[in-house]
Structures are given as structure tokens and as C-alpha cells.
Amino acid sequence: MKQLFIVLSIFLLFSTSYAHDEATLTIAWPINAGPINPHLYNPNQMYAQTMVYDSLVRYTPNGMEPSLAESWSVSDDGLTYTFKIRNAKFSDGTNVSAEAVVMNFNAVMQNKERHGWIALVSMIESFYAEDNNTFILKLKKPYNLTLQELSVARPFRILSPSGFLSEDTSKGIKAPIGSGPWKLKETKLGEYDIFERNDYYWGQKPKYKYVKVLVLPDANSRIIALETGKVDMLLGEGVFTLENYVRLSKDKNIAAYKSEPRITNMIAMNTSKDIMKDESVRKAILLAVNKEHIVKYILLNEETYAGHIFNPSLKYCNINEKPYEYNLAKANEILDKAGWKKHGLYRKKDGKLLSINLHYIGIDPKQKATAEAVQAYLVQAGIKLNIIAEESTIFYSIQANGFFDMIFNKTWGPPFDSGTFLGSMRKPAHADFRAQSGLAEKKQIDSAIDELLISDNETFIQEKYNYILNILHKRAVYMPISYEHDFALVRKDRVKNFQFGNMVTEFMLHTLEPSYD
């Protein structure tokens, strides 16, 4: 028995050191990277899109930085953007040119509808290549967020002309060939994706030769994979639970990282739907839930309490309104006054039960736990909350068609917050539009957003922000819960030099180095 054990452990030692060729970084993700089409959404994974493709410019918290465009200028009227394209190569060795950029913009603009959430798409008047390395973008109106929206993970990223199947990439691409630090090497469905260093990359070259992304759909198995050394690090939204983050941050082999808060995690309430039209119900819901306790005990204080839909530290977003504070007695009082009377456990009005649905993504443990807590709080106010676990694609289609009473909702983090996110509130395919559509002031809100996005007057913008955020707060449209951070767990013995990307979906794997500790 003992001998067997020794043999086994030698074998294990040998096999692990063999499997971890120092040049390969192994991480885990719930699903495959998808076809990695730069201009499309699910199932294309954003982390992969940012690994393989470049945008014209890069977002950083301190302002925009050059990327495929090594420099740019804006005309005085704010309508013409001139980008100087870098002398770079795609991963197949072909040259990046202004013509290639035009091809990509063409492909994006052929699917304007699909990209409606990004306001820039509707602002673009025309674009063309002035010469081999000059790209001109003309707008209908000046737009403040032009550069930010060009920098996001999709759709304005540049695919090599050799990767095009036809002009219209929404029908598919030939191959994911970009100019980013990595190129796709191999995909095995349900098992892994392997990326290889792009030796033509114009920037700082990755230290690792390969990145292997294991497909592990189950959160538990991802954590076990990290603990047993099957993967070198875990990062990304929802990849591990907060409980495991707290537990493993005490592990001496593991470095735990936490970013600044970036995204607001909230619940949207549908002001246009049945019972939810009743503002007193919405207010009572906000008062009946002890969010401080949810943040402290369910989110383990690893996320920051949110009083408003945007973090007040964001520009223009610090409005003078006190968050709704937990006050069960007041919640009950409001409901009594509004005619919702208790019959047994729950309230009724004109024979109608105070019963509300809250949809959440079934496999998201944080949403599930939060939903359960909200349900338990609301029963104390006599509100029957049905919590419904949804498969994620269904979840997003519910958000889009407004078929919800309450639904989890998130802002998009930098660089979208707050401008682009506000912009999307005007689009019917968004939970926010649906949630707000019952408000008498919805038209005014939308036109205020229209105006602030093209204004260059700071005071005017601030005024509009105050107006919008005040109404959304007063009318009790959202239940902000927390400002989320990004988390990462890294095996110290394998990897060093970890840093968070500037956007939630950017992994910065090219900056990582193998550790020989």
C-alpha cells in the first residue's frame, strides 16, 4: 500500500511538472470562447475578443491611449475624427491598413440594429481611408463618447481582411485573425481553447507562449482546479464565489486581487407592469429590504454598498439624494395606506394578491443568494416574491422584452459608465428602457440623455444628470445593491505581475510572467 502511494505520488509530481510547460498559462472559463467574431455578441466571449483583436484606441482611467491608431485628431466642430493607423501586422503577417479598418466599419454598420445599444453607431455619417494609413470618421452630430465607444470589446475591433468570409461578418468569419497579442490556436468544444502568442504583435509581447483556457462550467470544479494546480489563476465575473475568494485569500500559495469598484449591481423594477406600476409598492420594496445586511453578510463586505445606480465617484454622478434606508415599519405603513391589506401572510388589494416575480440567472450564486434574501425580507412586508431561476440567454431576452416585474440588472463598468449606459436607456431592447417605460417622465428623461451626450457645456450636462438621476431615484425604479469589484485568484508559485484590465472584460494576459518561486 505504502509503495503504491509512493509510486503514485512520484507519478503525480512528474505529470504535473510535465503538464505545466512553463510557457503555458492555464486558466478556466465556463464556456468555450466561441467563433471569436469581433463584431458579434454571444457566444463570442469578450475576453477572447480583446485578446485577439485591437481597437483603434484604448481606454484607460486617465484618458484614451493609442492602440491601432498611433495618433488621432478631432476637427473643431467635433464632427471629423482623423486616425493615423499604426504600421502593424495581423497575426497572419499581412499589413494593417486604413482600408482594413474601413472594411470592419462597413461590416459593423451593416448591422446597425444589432449594435443599437452603442449610440455612436447612430451618430456615424461616413468613413473612408484617406490614404494607406489615414482613417477618417465623420459624425452627424458631435458626440462626447466617440473615443470611449470605439475602444470597447465589441463591435469596433479590427479583423484582418483575410479573415473575412464576405463583407457582412454577421453571417460568420473565415478565421479569427487580428492584430492583438494573441491568436487562436485550437478549440475543442466543451474542453478547452488554446491561444498562442502573436509574434507580429506591435506592442509589448506576451511572456507566455500559450494560454490554455479550460472549459469548466461548474464553479466548484473551477475552484478545485485552482486548488489542485490544474489551472494557474482564475479571474472574471462570476468565475468563483465570494465565499471562495475570502477563503482562498487566506491561502499562502495564492495571491488574491480586488479591483476598484466598477459596476453597479442592482435590481430593475418594471414601472409599466401590473402591480409594479404602483409607486408605493416599489417604494415599500426598497424600504423593506435591508441592503446593508445583504452587502455585509451575503456579499461578505467584499463589494461596496450601493445607494444609487451610478457610483457617486463617477463624473456627474454625485447627486444630493439620500439612499432608501431599511425601514420595515414604514414599508408596511406605505402599503397599508395604498390599500394593500394583509390577509394571512400576504397582502391583497381588490382581491388581487401582492405577488411579484424576480428573475435571476440560475447559475449565478450571488444573484441566487441575493434573490433569496430579498424574498425573505419582502415576506415580512406581506409581499409575495416569486424568485425564478433563468437560463442566461432566456434571462437576457426577458430583460430585452420587458417581460418582468423585477430583474437583476448591471451597469457595464468603464468606459461605459455612465454616458454609454445612460444612452442605452433610450433603447427599447434594454431592461432599463422597459423598467422606465411606465414613468410619466420617460420622454423627458430620453431627451435629457440626447442633449447631454452631445453638449460640451459642463454645467448643462451636470443639470441634466441631476434631473435624470433624481427622477429615477424618486420614482423608485431601481434597487441598487452593490458596486462590484473584479476579483482574481492567482497561484503565486506559477504566475507573477498580475494586473487588472482597464475594462471588466479585458484580461491583460500579455503582461503576466511565469513565476519560478
Partner 1 sequence: MKDKKLIFLFIMLGVIILSAIFAPLITPYSPYDIDLSNRFASISSSHILGTDHLGRDVFTRLIYGSRMSLISVLAIMVIILVLSLIIGSAAGFQGGKLDNVLMRISDVMLTFPTFILALFFIGVLGVGLINVIIAIAFTHLAWYSRIVRSIVLETKEKNYVLASKCMGTPKLKIVIKHIMPQVLSQVGILATLDLGHMMLHVAGLSFLGLGVQAPVAEWGVMINDAAPFIRQHPELMIYPGLCIFITVAIFNSIGERLKDRYKIKEDRSKESAV
Partner 2 sequence: MISFIIKRVLLIIPIMFVVSFLVFTILRLGPVDPAQAYLLNSRIPPTEEALKVTRAELGLDKPFFTQYAIWLKGAVTLDFGLSYMTKRDAFGDLIYYFPTTLKITFLAMIMVIIVSIPLGILGAVKKDSIADKIVKLFSFIGVSTPSFWFGFLLIYLFALKLNILPPFGFEGVSSYILPILTLGLMSSAINMRITRTSFLEHITSRSTKYLKIQGVSNNTIMGKYVLKNSMIPVVTSLGMHFGELIGGAVVVEVLFALPGVGRYVVSSIINHDYPVIQCFMILMTAVFIIVNLIIDIIYVYLNPKIKYGSII
Instruction: Report if residue 221 touches partner 2, rule: CB under 8 A.
Output: yes
Q: Which of 199, 218, 260, 493 binds partner 2 (CB under 8 A)?
A: 218
- Cβ closest to partner 2, residue 137 vs residue 231: 231
To partner 2, the closest distance from the beta carbon of 218 in angstroms equals 6
- Nearest residue to 454 (alpha-carbon basis) of 80, 121, 143, 148: 143
- Cβ closest to partner 2, residue 346 vs residue 396: 396
With CB under 5 to 8 Å by kind, the binding choice for 380 among partner 1, partner 2, none is partner 1
Q: Amino acid identity, residue 109?
A: M
Binders of partner 2 in range 382-421 (CB under 8 A): 394, 397-398, 401-403
Burial of 81 by CB count in 10 Å (0-12 exposed, 13-18 middle, 19+ buried)?
buried
To partner 2, the closest distance from the beta carbon of 228 in angstroms equals 11
With CB under 5 to 8 Å by kind, the binding choice for 397 among partner 2, partner 1, none is partner 2
To partner 2, the closest distance from the beta carbon of 287 in angstroms equals 29
Burial of 329 by CB count in 10 Å (0-12 exposed, 13-18 middle, 19+ buried)?
exposed
With CB under 5 to 8 Å by kind, the binding choice for 218 among partner 2, partner 1, none is partner 2
Looking up cell 469581433, which residue turns up? 38
With CB under 5 to 8 Å by kind, the binding choice for 375 among partner 2, partner 1, none is partner 1
Backbone torsions φ then ψ of 154, nearest 5 degrees: -160, 150
Instruction: Report if residue 220 touches partner 2, rule: CB under 8 A.
Output: yes
To partner 1, the closest distance from the beta carbon of 378 in angstroms equals 9
Q: Amino acid identity, residue 264?
A: T
With CB under 5 to 8 Å by kind, the binding choice for 15 among partner 1, partner 2, none is none
With CB under 5 to 8 Å by kind, the binding choice for 258 among partner 2, partner 1, none is none
Alpha helices in 404-476 (DSSP H): 419-424, 431-436, 442-454, 458-474
To partner 2, the closest distance from the beta carbon of 196 in angstroms equals 28
Q: Number of residues in contact with partner 2, rule: CB under 8 A? A: 9
3-state secondary structure of 386: strand
Backbone torsions φ then ψ of 481, nearest 5 degrees: -115, -60
- Cβ closest to partner 1, residue 61 vs residue 344: 344
- Cβ closest to partner 2, residue 256 vs residue 400: 400
Return residues touching partner 1 (CB under 8 A). Answer: 290, 293-294, 296-298, 345, 365, 368-369, 372-373, 375-377, 379-380, 386-387
- Cβ closest to partner 2, residue 398 vs residue 504: 398
- Cβ closest to partner 1, residue 136 vs residue 387: 387
With CB under 5 to 8 Å by kind, the binding choice for 7 among partner 1, partner 2, none is none
How would you label 358-383 residue by residue, b for 16+ Cβ within 10 Å and e otherwise? Answer: bbbbebbbbbebbbebbbebbeebbb
Peptide bond into 66 cis (omega under 30): no
- Cβ closest to partner 1, residue 292 vs residue 458: 292
- Nearest residue to 450 (alpha-carbon basis) of 415, 424, 476: 424
What span, in angstroms and rounded, lies between the C-alpha atoms of 221 and 231? 11
What span, in angstroms and rounded, lies between the C-alpha atoms of 486 and 234? 11
- Cβ closest to partner 1, residue 31 vs residue 328: 328
The CB-side HSE value for 509 (13 A sphere, CA atoms) comes to 33
- Nearest residue to 216 (alpha-carbon basis) of 182, 242, 193, 185: 193
- List residues binding partner 2 (CB under 8 A): 218, 220-221, 394, 397-398, 401-403
